[in-house]
Structure 1
Amino acid sequence: MSGISPKTIITYQDVVISNAVAKVFPKVNHHYSMWHIEKKVPEYLNRVYHEHGEFKDQFYKCIHQSTTVEEFDSDWEAMIDKYGLQDNQWLNKIFSIREKWIPAYVRHNFCAGMSTTQRSKNMNKYFKDFLNSSTSLSQFVTQYKKALDARYNKEREKTFKTRNSKPLLRTLYPMEEEASKVYTRKMFRIFQDELVGSQLFITEKVKFSIEVSTYKVREIYKEKPIYYVNFHVTSKEANCSCHMFEFSGILCRHVLCVFIKKKVYCLPSQYVLHRWSINAKKEKVKEVTIVGFQEGSNNASDTSLFNSIMVHSIELSEKGSQPEKHHDIALQSLQNGIAKLDLLDIEESNKKFVDSTSEDMPKLYDVNIALHDPPLIATKGRLRALRMKSGLEMVRKGSSTCNYCMKNGHTKPKCSNLNQTR
């Protein structure tokens, strides 16, 4: 990641993990997985959860439909008083860490629309189709490559579909057609749903000035929930109390409703995140900082130097793989670079490097490295030979007694005397 730390980290609710994140990423926004907290409600609130059927809905509305911090605190206090949960230690604990998981608190931070660790679980499930606990080390390398190839092929198919087909438009707004040419297909569908959903809302101006106007937005025939949108007349910027754009990077239906009312038919560029656009992978590669590397020194490792060249070669490949003219220029540049490298006295430089480091580094050609599978560990449980058997299993084969002739070694259906009699 070129030394760039993540904006947000989502983990389980765990003290040890929290301390580690605070130590390694002190400036990151650390959130707890909402799903893992909510699934504990039946366990820690067993009595009230089963005795009061409406508690589940009220708990859900308090968490997910509170748009502001003040509204959540008020709804939470009302819920606690209604069901007499003032002394519940678990509720007091999760309320004390509400800044890390309640949507009204965390939606100010960008999370790409995620509030749980579900994406990590999805990746685990994906790789289970290619790997399992008994996969050997040699098979792992092959299967892992197949998994990545399948992932890349699926990505190429979606990219091809986005670039070579047109989605079905559902409105007559020019903003929708413009967004279909900018967003990837999946993100366009999310934006399209918000644009269509904006037609179900009405706006009412509650505060206005020369520069900023505030609108109250609510759904038709419903008094709640109410959202407040601030619209800047000059810059055409807007922000909503639901903070959907800050949280997921897509404009909400409440802002789009105000845009349509104010006749803003073109999507402002500041509301199209580059990561959601078709050209997201064409971003210029940032300079890679190599730790310990200075011109004329040998402090940088071979891996760091290789990574630096690889990053810039990928950028060259992407720019040179489109028109034929670009391809010829990129290929000529590579050939010229290879020719210049061949002229250098590489053997002499390598010899100096080896001589200077031979005292500290072991000779690799003297070390025999063999790659083997890890040792197999016996599974848990009783051994097969020691398993207790039932009476039927203990009967030896061939000790059956015929009910017709009373002889051992066969049963009545296979009795020769009975067959002769018949």
Structure 2
Amino acid sequence: MAKALVEVIPETYHGLCTWHLMQNGIKHLGNLMKGESHFLSDFKKCMYGYDDEEQFEEGWRNLLEKFDVKENTWLQRVYSVREKWASCYLKKAFTLGMRSTQLSESVNADIKSFINVNLDLIKFFNRFEDVVEEKRYNELKCEYEARQKIPRLKNPYSDILKQVSELYTPTIFELFQHEYELFEACSVKSINVKASLVDCVIVMVKDLGEWKVSFDLDKKIIHCSCCKFETFGILCCHCLRVFIHMDVKSVPEQYILKRWTKLARSVSLPNVSVRHVVEDSQLTSTQRRRDICPRPMRVVDEASRSQETYTLLSKNLLIYWTRKC
């Protein structure tokens, strides 16, 4: 897959499913996870916990030394493709927070629930349409609830929270509100203001690292070194800390993606003409043949048990074919 993507869709960013990666880790390194071992948590930290590439490299070296696995070939292979699974490298891609194949696996599970060896093509698509219809109904239900329910604001006096609560879907609003809560743990270590450009260094309580935030006051353009918006599509707590520090009362329009709002499905799609599919008569005939074939075979089995029944069946079959011809 990786080789094909480079050749066919070179502009895409290929990432590895973190769930499958962890399962492979358990398969290859299960002996390191017994007892009170912290190997799994340390490995997860390398996968999710480091925001900077230098921090990741140091954490990976410590992992290899702590568990004495420098020569492990599986870890060497995993490290060689670290840009496909480590968070600090995935900042280069717009992933929308997806780190696994959970969505496709969920669809696969729904389809596998009704598949069996006797299912012909027409019945398959009938069942498939039922699955699609159910998913569309769930989407409509979520959309209705998003429009009717009023989200709970943890800070009802915040102008920013009031603004986005009216725009975001409940799920995205909760994620944004979590970032808003985290901003209280952030502080401005240093700030440099040149004309309309503001450069800040943000630090967090009980969290190692520094984040650089640049904010253009005139163009309302903000960027953080954590790349939360560039990868997921919502602003991070570091940017919100700068907004509050600079007395910004609302999120600029360009930082509210329509895909996360209640109006995401409001654009009407062009009509696509669909031809009526005529049922394949040959396929139906095949289905009937498959259903009826076992019945005469049971008659033949019973008739072959004795000479008398064998002679009776042969005689009647001969009469039938004589009349047929």
Same fold (TM over 0.5): yes
Look up the equivalent residue of 1:139 and give its one-letter code.
Answer: K
Q: Judging changes above 3 Å, is the alpha-carbon distance between structure 1 residues 48 and 275 closer, same or farther for their aligned structure 2 residues?
A: same
Look up the equivalent residue of 1:214 and give its one-letter code.
Answer: C
Q: Taking structure 1 as the reference length, what is the TM-score of the superposition?
A: 0.60
Bigger CA radius of gyration: 1
The alpha-carbon deviation at position 197 of structure 1 amounts to 3.0
Unaligned runs of 5+ in 2: 274-279, 291-325
The alpha-carbon deviation at position 97 of structure 1 amounts to 0.8
Look up the equivalent residue of 1:192 and give its one-letter code.
Answer: Q
Name the residue aligned to 2:149.
165
Q: Is the 8 A contact 1:195 1:253 kept in 2?
A: yes
Q: Is the 8 A contact 1:68 1:241 kept in 2?
A: no
Look up the equivalent residue of 2:161 and give its one-letter code.
Answer: E
Q: Deviations over 1:50-72 (max 9, x none)?
A: 37613333222232111011221
Name the residue aligned to 1:274.
258
Match of 1:180 among 165, 170, 190: 165
Look up the equivalent residue of 1:34 and give its one-letter code.
Answer: T
Name the residue aligned to 1:304.
none
> Residues of 1 paired with 2:189 and 2:255: CA distance?
23
Name the residue aligned to 1:213.
199
Alignment of 1:105 with 2:64, yes or no, is: no
Name the residue aligned to 1:371.
283
> Residues of 2 paired with 1:203 and 1:181: CA distance?
29
Q: Deviations over 1:177-203 (max 9, x none)?
A: 111222222222222222233223333
Q: Judging changes above 3 Å, is the alpha-carbon distance between structure 1 residues 250 and 371 closer, same or farther for their aligned structure 2 residues?
A: same
Q: Is the 8 A contact 1:201 1:218 kept in 2?
A: yes
Alignment of 1:254 with 2:238, yes or no, is: yes
Deviates more, 1:267-276 or 1:205-214: 205-214
Structure with greater helix percent: 2
Q: Is the 8 A contact 1:213 1:233 kept in 2?
A: no
Match of 2:62 among 53, 78, 83: 78
Q: Judging changes above 3 Å, is the alpha-carbon distance between structure 1 residues 229 and 183 closer, same or farther for their aligned structure 2 residues?
A: same
> Residues of 2 paired with 1:57 and 1:147: CA distance?
37
The alpha-carbon deviation at position 117 of structure 1 amounts to 0.6
RMSD, aligned α-carbons: 2.8
Q: Is the 8 A contact 1:229 1:241 kept in 2?
A: yes
Q: Is the 8 A contact 2:18 2:99 kept in 1?
A: yes
Give me the identity figure in percent: 27
The alpha-carbon deviation at position 127 of structure 1 amounts to 3.4
Q: Taking structure 2 as the reference length, what is the TM-score of the superposition?
A: 0.76
Match of 2:174 among 189, 196, 204: 189
> Residues of 1 paired with 2:251 and 2:43: CA distance?
37
Unaligned runs of 5+ in 1: 1-16, 286-308, 314-367, 377-422
The alpha-carbon deviation at position 284 of structure 1 amounts to 6.7
The alpha-carbon deviation at position 39 of structure 1 amounts to 2.1
User: How many residues in Structure 1 have an aligned counterpart in Structure 2?
Assistant: 281
Q: Judging changes above 3 Å, is the alpha-carbon distance between structure 1 residues 48 and 163 closer, same or farther for their aligned structure 2 residues?
A: closer
Name the residue aligned to 1:310.
271
Alignment of 1:139 with 2:123, yes or no, is: yes
Alignment of 1:37 with 2:15, yes or no, is: no
Pairing of 1:3-402 with structure 2 (within 5 A): 17-50=1-34, 53-129=37-113, 131-134=114-117, 136-137=119-120, 138-171=122-155, 172-205=157-190, 207-210=192-195, 211-219=197-205, 222-283=206-267, 310-311=271-272, 369-372=281-284
Q: Is the 8 A contact 1:58 1:79 kept in 2?
A: yes
> Residues of 1 paired with 2:70 and 2:36: CA distance?
17
Q: Judging changes above 3 Å, is the alpha-carbon distance between structure 1 residues 223 and 157 closer, same or farther for their aligned structure 2 residues?
A: closer
> Residues of 2 paired with 1:278 and 1:229: CA distance?
29
Q: Judging changes above 3 Å, is the alpha-carbon distance between structure 1 residues 90 and 206 closer, same or farther for their aligned structure 2 residues?
A: farther
Q: Is the 8 A contact 2:188 2:200 kept in 1?
A: no
The alpha-carbon deviation at position 235 of structure 1 amounts to 2.7
> Residues of 1 paired with 2:210 and 2:33: CA distance?
28
Q: Judging changes above 3 Å, is the alpha-carbon distance between structure 1 residues 127 and 64 closer, same or farther for their aligned structure 2 residues?
A: same
The alpha-carbon deviation at position 80 of structure 1 amounts to 1.9
Q: Is the 8 A contact 2:201 2:210 kept in 1?
A: no
Q: Is the 8 A contact 1:195 1:256 kept in 2?
A: yes
